[in-house]
Chains A and B, each alone.
Chain A
Amino acid sequence: MALANLKKICQEHLAEKYNIEIIDLVRNPQLARKDQILAIPTLVRNLPQPIKKIIGDLSNTEKVLLGLEVRPRS
């Protein structure tokens, strides 16, 4: 559900300017440590720096955009 929400948001607001990598921690548990993941699901914005993390099912589009700093804080 989070992924569906994310794709929808990206297509609407960041068309052609995004790259989503999906990591299954059950298969790659060592990456949880590397990327400092605690909550699931977590959306990590690696670029641009600094790293931003958005957790939850991304159902609140406004908050996701705020977190990704796509929409400037007003």
Chain B
Amino acid sequence: MKSTKGNNRTLPKSPTGIQGLDEITFGGLPRGRTTLVCGSAGCGKTLLSLEFLIRGALQYNEPGVLIAFEETAEELAKNVASLGFDLDNLIKRKKLIIDYVHLERSEIQETGEYDLEGLFVRLGYAIDSIGAKRVVLDTLEAIFSSFSNTFILRNELRRLFRWLKDRRVTSIVTGERGDGTLTRHGLEEYVSDCVILVDHRTINQISTRRLRIIKYRGSIHGTNEYPFLIDNDGISVLPATSIGLNHEVTNRRVSSGIERLDTMLGGKGYYRGSSILVSGTAGTGKSTLAAHFVDAACRRRERCLYVASEESPQQIARNMRSIGIDLEPWVQKGLLSFHAVRAGFYSLEMHLAILHKLVNHFKPQIFVMDPVTTFTSEGDELEVKAMLTRLIDFLKMKQITAMFTSLTSTAQGSGLEQTEVGISSLMDSWLFLRDIEIGGERNRGLYILKSRGTAHSNQIREFLLTDQGVDLVDVYIGPGGVLTGTARKTQEAQEKAEFVKREQEASSTRRTLEVKRKNLEARIAELRAEFENEKREIEKGLVEDEQREQILAQDRKNMARFRRADVTSNGGRPAHENFESKKTKRRLGSAALRGGTNA
């Protein structure tokens, strides 16, 4: 069982200073103890241990002693000079002692009992003279080929490791890999604290160096095989698989460079730090989409790393100029960096390691890999997926927005999306570009297969490449299905004609209605005039009647006066005549009311 984190804190460690190694050992090698580095010839054991000493001396002010059994100090100095390490200078500054132990079997005659006190004396003297904190014995197993009494040697080895522990120096012993065992002479029996295995394998003609921590007593450690690089910065171990799924997330968005696409992605584009897969068949505009993205980012003064595995940077720049995107100025301003490499040039791990270094060095905000599919040919799907997972995790940890383009086979149908399910699950957004073949022509269609955490459009857009870059237009969706290109234009024209026709029909109907209304109004006016006449006639008749009544009444009065008759209280007017006049008035009123309703 691995110890808990609490123990991990209490176990003191010596940082190696080697990129990545401290990460997978969670702090370095066990302080004051011995670590065994084993591996076959040419694996980088010597370099690893030497870098441990050099970085210890330079970065942590811990002087070191190297007991070299195989190479002289001059040879070692020459070997690491190409990596930028100046051993002579370190030796002069008393930061490093290299003691070359010359062992020549033919010069040595064994007679009876002996021990290796001489080695202890030399080591002790070297440690004391510079106050060394780190010791490397490379390759300790050489003593087995020089002395024949293995019983004595094993005793002495046991004594040596105890002695190193007592001296409280952090030490590395290296051992040649044996047949079926970690070391040829079983050094691992004596070193119980930490064992690191380095390996150099060739698979499919591509060699990869790998490193694995087999044992680390009292500490948690990464247990996988980690590829490592030896380049002009020395060793860098790639601890990508140690990265977990606990990277920071952000709600900030980053524009895709195409306004319409941003709209489709919920109005604001991709999430910053997310991974985007752009897949599509050949010639559907994947690189163009990537170029737009890069161009927009550079306009915002962001740094972009463009990994091209199919085209040269010049070719990409030329092709993008044809659609109105000029990437050249961004390269000159140092905002855009191309990394062109053939997939088959290195192993996947090596690519990953190089990308790690590039990203760490260039510090981009945007990462584009165009296309990612060429790497698929380098290994089986599982390996590619593992590599991409590590790359994406790494980029996410650094909050870098990554776009990967992927070429799908030209076969039509749903199977074409199937092949990419493997890598698509790693991606946050998946844009799909495809050919739509209608009416004897091919057109490009774009849709969003997925976009985690955004309200995105489910519509297919037609994807047009113009002199001014990409344009997205709505496709025609109607009873005839999805139409693009000329078919869409024809359909649109047809619809336009129909629309005009409908418009015309509608306006003629409106005119008819207007005429009808006018007719009606004329008739109403006519009726009203008729009524007014009638009303005037009736009123005139009434007035005449009244006058006649008055005259009659006057006549009756006169007549009565003439006959000297009695005068009635109501002015001589009979009751029935009064009633008649009221009735006439009411009839008039209702006639007026009817006239109003008719109007």
Contact = CB atoms under 8 A, between A and B. Distances in A.
> Are these two chains actual partners, yes or no?
yes
Interface of A: 2, 25-26, 29-30, 32-33, 36-42, 50-60, 63-64, 66-67
A53 to B, nearest CB: 5
B118 A42 contact: yes
Given A38-B122, A54-B110, 15 more contacts: A26-B121, A29-B121, A32-B118, A32-B121, A32-B122, A33-B99, A37-B122, A39-B115, A39-B147, A40-B117, A42-B114, A52-B107, A55-B114, A56-B113, A59-B113
A59 B122 CA distance: 26
Contacts of A54: 108-111
B111 A64 contact: yes
B73 to A, nearest CB: 11
A66 B109 contact: yes
A49 to B, nearest CB: 12
Given A29-B125, A30-B125, A33-B125, A40 B118 contact: yes
17 contacts: A25-B121, A29-B124, A36-B102, A37-B118, A38-B103, A38-B116, A39-B115, A40-B114, A40-B121, A42-B118, A52-B107, A53-B109, A55-B110, A59-B111, A60-B112, A64-B111, A66-B109
Contacts of B553: none
A45 to B, nearest CB: 10
A29 B122 contact: yes
Interface in B79-124: 99, 101-103, 107-119, 121-122, 124
B109 A33 contact: no
A59 B110 CA distance: 10
B143 interface: yes
A3 B77 CA distance: 40
A54 B147 CA distance: 11
A4 to B, nearest CB: 12
Contacts of A29: 121-122, 124-125
Given A38-B103, A53-B109, A55-B114, A32 B143 contact: no
A40 B114 CA distance: 6
A42 B119 CA distance: 12
Given A25-B117, A32-B121, A57 B107 contact: no
Contact of A53 (B101, B108, B143): B108
B117 A64 contact: no
Contacts of B143: 38
Contact of B112 (A32, A36, A57, A66): A57
Q: Is the interface of B mostly helix, strand, loop or mixed?
A: mixed
B125 A55 contact: no
A59 B118 contact: no
Contacts of A41: 114
Contacts of B124: 29
Contacts of A60: 111-112
Contacts of B112: 2, 56-60
Which interface residue of B114, B143, B147 has the most chain A CB atoms within 10 A? B114
A38 B147 CA distance: 10
Which 4 pairs, one residue from A and one from B, show the smallest C-beta to C-beta distance? A67-B109, A29-B125, A40-B117, A56-B112
A57 B114 contact: yes
B429 to A, nearest CB: 65
Contacts of B117: 25, 39-40
Contact of B111 (A30, A37, A56): A56
A56 to B, nearest CB: 4
Given A30-B125, A33-B125, A38 B111 contact: no
Contacts of A2: 112
A27 B430 CA distance: 75
A52 B114 CA distance: 16
B109 A38 contact: no
A46 B115 CA distance: 21
Contacts of B126: 33
A52 to B, nearest CB: 6
Given A39-B114, A60-B112, A33 B122 contact: yes
B243 to A, nearest CB: 46
B111 A39 contact: no
Nearest to A24: B121
A58 B107 contact: no
Which interface residue of B108, B111, B143, B146 has the most chain A CB atoms within 10 A? B111
Contact of B109 (A26, A30, A40, A64): A64
Nearest to B146: A38
Nearest to A42: B118
Given A39-B114, A40-B118, A42-B118, A55 B99 contact: no
Contacts of A42: 114, 118
Contacts of B102: 36
Contacts of A36: 101-103
A42 to B, nearest CB: 7
A50 B125 CA distance: 27
Contacts of B103: 36, 38
B65 to A, nearest CB: 11
